[in-house]
Amino acid sequence: MDYGMSPELEKFRMEVRAFVEEHAPAIPPKAGVRSAEDAAEHALIKDWIGKLFAAGYMGGDWPEQYGGNGSKHSAEEDVVVGEEIARARAPHFAGAGGLVSHALIDFGTEEQRSRYLPGIRSGQDTWCQLFSEPSSGSDLASLRTKAVRTDDGGFRVTGQKVWTTNGHWAEYGYLLARTDPDAPKHKGISAFIVDMRLPGVEVRPLREMTGTSDFNEVFLDSVELPADALIGELNKGWTIANSSLGHERSGVATSVVRLRQGVDALKDLAKNVEKNGRPAIEDGAVQETLGRFTAEVEALSALVYANISRWSRGTERPQDAPMAKLMFSELGVELARFALELSGEAGILVEGDSGAIDHGRWQDEFLYARAFTIAGGSSEIMRNIIAERGLKMPR
Among all residues, which ones are annotated catalytic? 248
Helix (H, G, I), strand (E, B) or coil at 226: coil
Residue type at 362? W
What DSSP element (H or E) covers 218? strand 215-225
* β 201-206/215-225 pair status: antiparallel
Helix (H, G, I), strand (E, B) or coil at 158: strand
The burial class, CB within 10 Å (0-12 / 13-18 / 19+), for 190 is: buried
Q: DSSP character for 388?
A: I
C-beta separation of 236 from 184 below 8 A: no
Closest C-alpha among 306, 314, 249, 260 to residue 5:
306
The burial class, CB within 10 Å (0-12 / 13-18 / 19+), for 265 is: middle
C-beta separation of 176 from 131 below 8 A: yes
Q: With the C-alpha atoms ordered 119, 120, 124, 128, is the resulting torsion angle positive or negative?
A: positive
How long is the chain? 395
| Neighbouring C-beta atoms of residue 59, cutoff 10 Å | 25
Cα–Cα distance, 70 to 84 (Å, whole number): 22
Cα–Cα distance, 249 to 78 (Å, whole number): 8
* β 230-231/189-195 pair status: antiparallel
Cα–Cα distance, 320 to 297 (Å, whole number): 16
CA distances 225 to 96, 104, 197, 258, 336, Å, are 19, 17, 12, 40, 44
* β 215-225/155-161 pair status: antiparallel
Q: With the C-alpha atoms ordered 35, 38, 41, 45, is the resulting torsion angle positive or negative?
A: positive
C-beta separation of 107 from 232 below 8 A: yes
